[in-house]
Amino acid sequence: MLPIHTIQSITLQRGDGRNLRYVLQLRDPMDNDPFIILADDKFAHNTFADHPHKGMQTVTYVLEGSLTHYDSKTGGGGRLAEGDFQIMTAGRGIIHNENPDPGKEVRVLQLWVNLSSDNKKQPSNYQDLPHDNAPVKAIDGGQVTVFAGDVDGTTSPLALLTPFVFAEVKLEKGARYEFPVNAGFNTYLYGLDGEFSINGEALKAFDTVHFDITKNEDVIVIEATEDATIVVFSGEPIKEPVIAQGPFVMNTQEEINEAFASYRNGTFLEGVPY
């Protein structure tokens, strides 16, 4: 069994039109590597108006409602419905917004995935994976939906710059599953619904687990004490310096300062108007 590093119950924060749980916070970026933050976020229209990103990817999984987005890359946007998944590569720079319909709310998990210094120079792009197209692995007493990466031979169609896995596990009461973890990956688990145990530790919805990084492949033993829904995200550490401020994730403070300066002076999109 993959050893547990820490267990934390994630409290709800309310304010500014948001119901927010910070599953993964920006305390020690190297401890999170290759991830930056994970937010379980329920928000209303105009919470996220136009804003920039650079040097990272946003990974969005819609849990409730629907979401429209507009961006500088395509000059257009799209819509994500409940159960849909998206990877947005900010790369060398993008401006976008995200909004539920007026008068509505949407609940999403949004994970920020870091990019290597070389991949921070990539052009921005989007990859969408509608829920109906996401690969599903049937298991005894449940299923695993693989949105990114590979779980026990079931592979997402999305191309990855930073190797990582993002999967949702649904288990009926009494079911047990051994979730495989790649050697050297930094792994987290978050409870969305129900009650369950991890490696024998009793947990419930809104609990999160951070596991030790090991040199060998291993498994997380998940047992559902009630019907349960769990997400697992696990990635290969990049092992480069991380400076994350506001919407930018770079390698040095100088690069962060340049990103803010270019956004203020209008050169952020390499001269392309927005």
Q: What is the pLDDT of residues 210-242, one digit of tens each?
A: 999 999 999 999 999 999 999 999 999 999 999
CB atoms within 10 A of CB 79: 12
Cα-based angle 164, 69, 189 (whole degrees, multiple of 5):
30
Banded model confidence at residue 272, pLDDT cuts 50, 70, 90: low
DSSP 256: H
Banded model confidence at residue 31, pLDDT cuts 50, 70, 90: very high
Closest CA to 272 of 126, 95, 119: 95
Mean pLDDT on 139-157? 98
At 150-194, the pLDDT tens digits run 999 999 999 999 999 999 999 999 999 999 999 999 999 999 999
Mean pLDDT on 79-105? 91
Residue 91 is which amino acid?
A: G
Which of helix, strand or coil describes residue 264? Answer: helix
Place of tokens 């495989």: 180
